[in-house]
Amino acid sequence: MMDISAPLLTDRPDLAGKVVLVTGGTGSFGRAFVSWALTQPKLRKIIVLSRDEQKHYAMQTDPAFKDDPRVRYFVGDVRNRDRLMRAFKGVDIVIHAAAMKHVHIAEYNPMEAIRTNIDGAANVIDAAIDRGVERVIALSTDKAASPINLYGATKLCMEKLIIAANSYAGEGGTRFDLVRYGNVVGSKGSVVPLFQRQLDEGQLTLTEPSMTRFWIGMDRAVDLVLLALTEGRGGEIFIPKLPACTVATLASALAPGVEQRIIGIRPGEKVHESLTTSDEARKLLEYDAYYVVEPEFPSWSRAPRTTAGKVVDGFTYSSDVTYQLNVAETRALLIRLGFVEA
């Protein structure tokens, strides 16, 4: 079995004296990252940027955050460059997590997804460079690899913008890196909370039982961002080694014996996801617990990577060929992450 708890990094970045800003900071990832950052005693300040006023209020009144004077709440939208210029003043590190992420909603609202995921990323880049931010780490998705839906396509465009931003910043300027991962177990709007709600109804709805998905815990998603922050040289994409399972396996692990009803694949969905493409293999480096996609044409100064292995030509990291969790292993993962009682 793949060791899904193997550490991605040994030393976490030192945030002593740093000001950190998280776009989309009131979302599932943003809250988890802020929680981790607040464990760093010498952190100077962390700014939560989000356009959702109600989520700001919920976070401000949460006992996990409300008594820490280092947290600042900044209502703003990544679509608004002027607001980002104000928010980024004095910021050292930006974690760009803001996005429209629901595949079927992006399919029916394409211009809104483009304005947030693409135009928003361009605004983050401009504001970061103009305000002298040291580091930007942006969150991407497995759906950006060979995308067939609009969400994936916007995230692919975002990846290209973030990588090219290193050229705009120039040598010695802001450094931009990316992380790309699969489905976060239990994140807002994901299938695990849906299945949990449907338990009381006595029936789970499955789009396609054979559909496979990569799975990652929120703690590991945060660690991946910290890895990129620690090891990124600019223009690189960090990809964790993840297990996968079918939707039917997930349903059986979460709710054994509960009836399963097939409703069909929604617009824009793939049966299987990929974290890398065959064309990326020539610039893909392998470590024990993760991969790094190097930039194709770096025009800025970068230290070469000498400790990684190369993958074979044409290598693709797909959810139907990676390690497949069985029902018992999937249930063990859900127990470890706190979604199922032992």
Taking each helix axis from N to C terminus, what angle separates 247-254 and 327-336, rounded to the nearest 10 degrees? 60
Do β-strands 183-184 and 212-216 pair in parallel, antiparallel, or remain unpaired?
parallel
Greatest Cα-to-Cα distance within the chain, rounded to the nearest angstrom = 59
Q: Distance between CA 252 and CA 256 in Å, rounded?
A: 5
| 170 phi/psi in degrees, rounded to 5 | 80, 170
Q: Which of 18, 143, 155, 241 is catalytic?
A: 143
- Paired strand residues for 324: 244
CA dihedral 315, 319, 322, 323 (to 10 degrees): 180
| 16 phi/psi in degrees, rounded to 5 | -55, 125
Q: Distance between CA 58 and CA 326 in Å, rounded?
A: 37
Determine contact, residues 228/238, Cβ cutoff 8 Å: yes
Residues 6+ apart with CB under 8 A from 188: 27, 28
Instruction: Look up 89 and say whether it is catalytic.
Output: no
Return the active site residues: 143
